[in-house]
Structure 1
Amino acid sequence: MRTAIAAIVLTTTTVLAAPAYAQTPDASVAIGPWKIEAVSKGQRFERCTMTRTTDDGVEIQFTRDAAGLDLSMSSSKWKLARGKSYPVELAAGSSTLQADVAASGNAVSLPIKDERFLKSLRLADGLDVKGEGATVKVALDGSAAGLDRLEQCYAKNGSATETNPFVAPSRKP
């Protein structure tokens, strides 16, 4: 009898909890090899990110925040002088961009402001980041849809207004 009652309670609890679980928003969205997510600090939305890892173990991240789009790359194999800039050439399709990346330990980053180059990122099959010592090759499969979703994530979360001050707004990518 106790076993039957325990089974009924367990079944009832599972059935009642299932709809609440099913409505929980996903923390990230996958588009091809890219992972897109909204990032918050506490209850405050900060940015949206789109990440993937290359075959060589380099993590590539596009970040969309109030300042615009930023490209970051990191690798545990890199030892870079913090605060130093390194010259690079980025090539996507027929478009190139000369820039200096800012270093921080094992990562570099740079803002992408050039509209022509941004369009090339959406259309090209790959991105080559040529440094003085080597070239990092990034496959851009799914990047057009991923970058569109990144912009949607920022537009949705960056302009969201909270209507209920007692409930945290959902942060969907």
Structure 2
Amino acid sequence: MRLAIAALALSAVSIAARAEAPADAVAIGPWKVDAISKGQKFDRCTMTRTTDDGVEVRFTRDAAGLDLTMSSAKWKLGRGKSYPVELVAGSSTLQADVAASGNAVSLPVKDERFLKSLKLADGLDVKGEGATIKVALDKSAAALDRLEACYAMNGSAAERNPFVAPSGKP
């Protein structure tokens, strides 16, 4: 009997702990915003979605700023290589070189005008030498705002109290 009561009490504590745990991600339209930690330490926030062609698109916000990464299991890219691309969002165009690693490419997004266009445009075209990747930007303004809020909330939480792990809330 004591064992059964102890097991029930332990189950209740376990269920309560899970209920208090922060949600893993927040969905905003097709985007998923998530806080990522390494161990107990907050690292970055991400905003992801997959295109109709199966390309995973990820915006990452960390201490270095905003980064755009795209990956596909179908891609075979040279490690350490870079590829020229043209990014078009609305009336804004950005010429850049993306850094490759296996099946992914990435680049930092530092241009404020282009970032504003990402929030306002219906789509993002990433034009490479071989093809154009089309990314629908529905709900991107709200998702990008949530991404920034995620980083601000989790990044500053670690600075305010070094003895408490960040909440990990996206």
TM-score, length of structure 2 as denominator length: 0.89
Q: Secondary structure at the match of 2:118?
A: helix
Among 130, 133, 144, the residue aligned to 1:147: 144
CA distance in 1, matches of 2:15, 2:75: 45
Deviation at 1:14, TM superposition (A): 6.2
Name the structure 2 match of 1:115.
112
Q: Does structure 1 retain, via aligned residues, the 8 Å contact 2:42–2:166?
A: no
CA distance in 2, matches of 1:43, 1:12: 27
- State yes or no: 1:26 paired with 2:23: yes
Deviation at 1:163, TM superposition (A): 3.6
Q: What do residues 61-106 of structure 1 show as CA deviations (whole Å, max 9, x unaligned)?
A: 0000111110000001111111111000000001110000000011
Q: CA RMSD in A?
A: 2.0
How many residue pairs were aligned?
A: 168
Higher Cα radius of gyration: 1
- Name the amino acid aligned to 1:101: V
Deviation at 1:20, TM superposition (A): 3.6
In structure 2, the CA distance between the partners of 1:94 and 1:20, relative to structure 1 (3 Å rule), is same
Matches within 5 A, 1:66-85: 66-85=63-82
CA distance in 2, matches of 1:113, 1:90: 13
Q: Secondary structure at the match of 1:151?
A: helix
TM-score, length of structure 1 as denominator length: 0.88
In structure 2, the CA distance between the partners of 1:164 and 1:77, relative to structure 1 (3 Å rule), is closer
Structure 1, unmatched stretches of 5+, are none
Name the structure 2 match of 1:127.
124
CA distance in 1, matches of 2:37, 2:10: 32
CA distance in 2, matches of 1:141, 1:66: 26
Deviation at 1:43, TM superposition (A): 1.5
Among 82, 106, 113, the residue aligned to 2:103: 106
Q: Does structure 2 retain, via aligned residues, the 8 Å contact 1:162–1:169?
A: no
Among 39, 43, 46, the residue aligned to 2:43: 46
In structure 2, the CA distance between the partners of 1:137 and 1:163, relative to structure 1 (3 Å rule), is same
Q: What fraction of aligned residue pairs are identical, expressed as a percent?
A: 75
CA distance in 2, matches of 1:52, 1:124: 16
Q: What do residues 2-54 of structure 1 show as CA deviations (whole Å, max 9, x unaligned)?
A: 9xxx7x98877766655443222101111111011111111121111000000
Q: Secondary structure at the match of 1:159?
A: helix
Among 47, 58, 63, the residue aligned to 1:61: 58
Q: Secondary structure at the match of 1:102?
A: strand
